[in-house]
Structure 1
Amino acid sequence: MGWVDNLNGPTGLMIGVGKGVIRSVLVDGNNRSEVIPVDYAINGLIVIPYEFYKSRKRPAEIPVYNITNADHRKAKMGDVITMCKRLGREYPLNVGLWYPDAVITTNKIYHQFNVLMFHWLPAYFLDFLLLIFGQKRFMVRVQNKISTGLDVLQFFTLNPWYFKSDNFASLWDNLSTEDRGIFNMDMHSDYSEEEYLIGCIKGGREYILKEKLEDLPKARFHHKIMYVIDRVCKIIFVGLFVYYLLKWTGVLALFSSNEQ
């Protein structure tokens, strides 16, 4: 099953999250996913004009073909994200910026806070270090592209979408057995979403990031190390935040006076 071999769409999002660059995404987990294998869509684009050409009588109204997933295959985006996180642990990418653990939320204020803390501040800090060491700066430029992409994406991930695809599904019934073997576009087939996502991850590693599949054991080991570092840093950060909050509110001084 085909996938798009560039950084546009879901593939780019998976790689960005897998590399630890994207730390927060606005997604409503209850919305249904409309992602289908790209070869299904391309085969549909080939068959539609072919079927239209075969028609002896021109239809009174222009037919509309929505190339979308079959209704019974539209999984909740929350379930897809959970599967992606699990597969990301099984097939991690090579060395990334941080441990891949993006926050999925519908709260725009919380999202903007995460973007500021975990997108922009690290980007400016890393560019500052690159400037000191006389290296070319690029992190802020990368974050600008990521922010633009996420701003466009959130319109589609926060709103529900429903497309009737009866016309598209009927095309499969009109194909001959020979044509079905060439132009697979049966959205009612039992292809595995998990198998498709594994193909996307492996393909992204090998063909986009140029990472060898033989490096997976090393990537899994590095992934575990990054997990420990991520948790330790979060515990220290939260601990310091609570400490200074208690100190600023005077609660810490109150406890100290009680002990004396």
Structure 2
Amino acid sequence: MESNVELTEIQQFYKNRTFFLTGITGLLGKLVLEKILRSFQVKRIYVLVRDKDGSDAETRCAAAMDSMAFGPLRRVDPEFFNKVSLIVGDCEKPDLGLNEYDKNLIMSEVECIFHCAATVDLGASLKKAALTNVKATRDLLDIAKQMKNLKTFVYISSVHSNFPQYEIHEKFYDLTGGKLVEILEFSNDQILDERASELLQGWPNAVAYTMNVAEDVIRRHGKSLPLCVIRPSLMVSSAEEPVTGYIEGISGLQGATVSYALGINRVNYYENGTLDIVPVDYVVSIVVAAGWYTGLQNIRMGKGESSTTEPPIYHCISSQEKPVTTDEWMGVTETECKEVPSVKMCQLPMSFQTACYQNYMLLTFLLHTCMAFLCDICLKFVGKKPVIMDIYKKLHKDQENFRPYLLRQWYFSNDNTQKLLKRMSFKDRELFNFDILTLNWQAYFVNYVRGVRVYLLKDPLSTVTEGKKKQEKKFMVQVITASFICVALYIIGKILLYKVIFKLFRKY
């Protein structure tokens, strides 16, 4: 952004600010970082990154900023990373794993906090989810209360943080969070493990539950802070920024698209209904805009007055203004997968949809388990390691974890979000767009599938022609195989039928 360009109200608010970001190795945190660097004249951005899986924090931070998400920014400002400072820490450790020097540095310099870090693995244990989603949030609130110049604090939750509710508004709900907080503060890990099934009763997984508990922590301990909560629905690839169709992470809806494109998944089990999804760049924009308005309100009210009110909540959803059904999403994505087939496909992409659990179990047994068993036998026969059954076990586990979100319907309100949109200037609404009415779903899904192909399958669009040739070959193999099976079943059935008839009537 050129210094001689007139700044918008949001840009002026964030000008020369110092930021603290968590979760920048994840999709949302990474895109929030990119958006801040591309849109604002910042002073400094401190990012919290931990050592993981044998890679140190510095390597992981460099890898995050070397991703394709920063491509457009890199072309404009090749040295953008000079404004970013690494803080080594860990959300699973007390005080986010910060040493005393870094903690004091953050407390004295940081003005804006964007807390994007969270455990979102639907199969995560209660312990892991509680440490990252609850304990880290509580510790960051304690640090924020000691910050000298804090202007805004944005916490990213999820609309499914109140999963047991059917009607969810932009407010806090009284559920069962207090028990977990007490266990985290006054008990050991063994007690947490022993009471996991009790605490998670009525919840689909530890992620949704701990996000609800984290919201309760914010509600109780964040009243004195200029704080707001963002609840996005299921996040999918970017609509426009930083690049069209950008996505990371093979899980949830993205995982379903990948497994279909590769020809691995043959069966989908869901109840057709409204599927609330939102492009990740829309979430990034509302994070920035809500942070601006929260800080602005805090300045207007004066220090301390905000302590009498609960932090505002903003839903970033699509079901109110521009709903999409699960059948529409499934149909369009499958059609587009066939338009740009991947050269990495294992089988011809095709699948069956069912809303009957018994049908789902039968079809997965025949089309997944039996097929995997036969393939593994063939691999053993040629001296290779049998891996197909393991692939399907992981697929079925991921489907099981995500299934609750496809079998249930909610009503989400978004009054606060609509009011926030109206408070923004026309220029800010262009720069930080989260108005779902501006989105063309048909065009979006075309780019979504291509984004999955490029960013998740690592298969460039230059190989589409080759992919179509492979798709035609797979189709012929499928036809020949199906014909062979039908003929074989016919012959076997005829032989068995004649034998049965012969035995029944031979005495006559």
Q: 1:247 to 1:188 in 2, by over 3 A?
A: same
Matched, 1:64 2:307: no
* Match of residue 6 from structure 1: 249
Matched residues, number: 253
1:17 counterpart (254, 260, 282):
260
Which amino acid in structure 2 is aligned with residue 226 of structure 1?
Answer: K
Other-structure match for 2:292: 50
CA contact (8 A) 1:70 1:187 kept: no
SS of the residue 1:73 aligns to: coil
Opposite residue 270 of structure 2, the aligned amino acid is V
State the alpha-carbon separation in 1 of the partners of residues 409 and 498 from structure 2: 47
Whether 2:333 is the aligned partner of 1:90: answer no
2:444 aligned with 1:201: no
Superposed counterparts of 1:136-147, under 5 Å:
136-147=385-396
Give the Cα–Cα distance (whole angstroms) in 1 for the partners of residues 310 and 368 of structure 2: 50
TM-score, length basis structure 1? 0.86
Amino acid at match of 2:445: L
Structure 2's unaligned 5+ residue stretches are: 1-238, 240-244
Partner of 2:481: 233
- Tell which structure's C-alpha radius of gyration is larger: 2
176-185 or 102-111: bigger deviation: 176-185
Alignment match, 2:460: 212
Q: Structure 1 residue 253: deviation in Å?
A: 4.3
Over the aligned positions, Cα root-mean-square deviation in angstroms equals 2.5
CA separation in 2, counterparts of 1:93 and 1:252?
Answer: 48
TM superposition shift of 1:16: 0.4
Q: Given residue 472 of structure 2, which amino acid in structure 1 is its aligned partner?
A: K
| Contact 1:3 1:39 (C-alpha < 8 Å) held by counterparts | no
Where does structure 1 lack aligned partners over 5 or more consecutive residues?
Answer: none
Deviation at 1:21, TM superposition (A): 0.5
Identity rate of aligned residues, in percent?
Answer: 17
Give the counterpart of 2:383 among 134, 142, 160: 134
Answer whether contact 1:99 1:230 (CA < 8 A) is retained.
yes
Cα pair 1:25 1:103 within 8 Å, conserved: yes
Amino acid at match of 1:223: Q
Q: How much does 1:40 deviate? A: 0.5
- Secondary structure, in 3 states, of the residue corresponding to 1:72? coil
Question: Which residue matches 1:173?
Answer: 422
**1:232-251 equivalences in 2 (<5 Å):** 232-241=480-489, 244-245=492-493, 248=496
Q: Distance in 2 between matches of 1:161 and 1:249?
A: 52
Matched-pair contact (CA < 8 Å) for 1:70–1:165: no
Q: Post-superposition shift, 1:44?
A: 1.5
- Distance in 2 separating the partners of 1:153 and 1:244: 40
Whole-angstrom distance in 1 between the partners of 2:484 and 2:381: 27
Which residue number in structure 1 is paired with residue 281 of structure 2? 39
Q: CA deviation at 1:243?
A: 5.0
CA positional deviation for 1:53: 1.9
Per-residue CA deviations over 1:193-245 (Å, capped at 9, x if unaligned) read 22222222222222222222121112112212322332343344345445545
The structural deviation recorded for 1:103 is: 0.8
Select the structure that is richer in strand: 2
Distance 1:3 1:164, change over 3 A: farther
Task: Show the counterpart of 1:187.
Answer: 436
Equivalent pair of 1:169/1:187 in contact (CA under 8 Å): no
CA contact (8 A) 2:247 2:455 kept: no
**SS of the residue 1:66 aligns to:** strand
